[in-house]
Amino acid sequence: MNTKVQTVYMPDLSTKYWQSLFDARVPAGFPSPAADYEEDKLDLNELLIKHPVATFFVRAIGDSMLGAGIHCGDLLIVDRSLEPRDRSVVIAVVNGELTVKRIRIRKKKITLEPENESYHTQEINENMEFEVWGVVTGVIHKL
């Protein structure tokens, strides 16, 4: 299945959820809760959202972006204030359908490329409805 956007969410910036950030490098396992390792407090809104007014979340469905680390059901963090550059992962509208793909911008040619060899690149032409909604800046998925 081609990776598409299932749901669009706005972030709730009114809440702060501080968690302890430990300065222990742990290859596997959980850091010791000893106070000696506590470095700071971490707010996930602050870490993941650089431009709050321009940020939204989408839930991806499909498997065309597996090579970019985007799995079916993942939440994608999208920033509308960023200008898409060549090779950015973007949320785009193509002929009325939301999709997530890697954009390629070469001279006057734009293509949307999947990150799964089972899918083909889509060339954007002047007869298509096309708009970039934003640049994907992060992925949240459960292990």
**Is 16 a residue of the active site?**
no
Task: Specify the pTM.
Answer: 0.77
pLDDT band of residue 136 (cuts 50, 70, 90) is very high
Helix (H, G, I), strand (E, B) or coil at 36: helix
Catalytic residue among 4, 101, 118, 142: 101
State how far the Cα of 100 lies from the Cα of 132, in Å rounded to an integer: 10
**pLDDT digit string, tens, across residues 21-34:** 555 555 665 555 55
pLDDT at res. 76:
93
**Is 4 a residue of the active site?**
no
Query: Using CA atoms in the order 126, 9, 74, 119, what is the torsion angle rounded to 10 degrees?
Result: -10
**pLDDT digit string, tens, across residues 66-99:** 999 999 999 999 999 999 999 999 999 999 999 9
Catalytic residue among 4, 14, 64, 118: 64
Count H helices and E strands in the chain, helices first: 1, 10
For the chain, where are the alpha helices, taking DSSP H only? 44-48
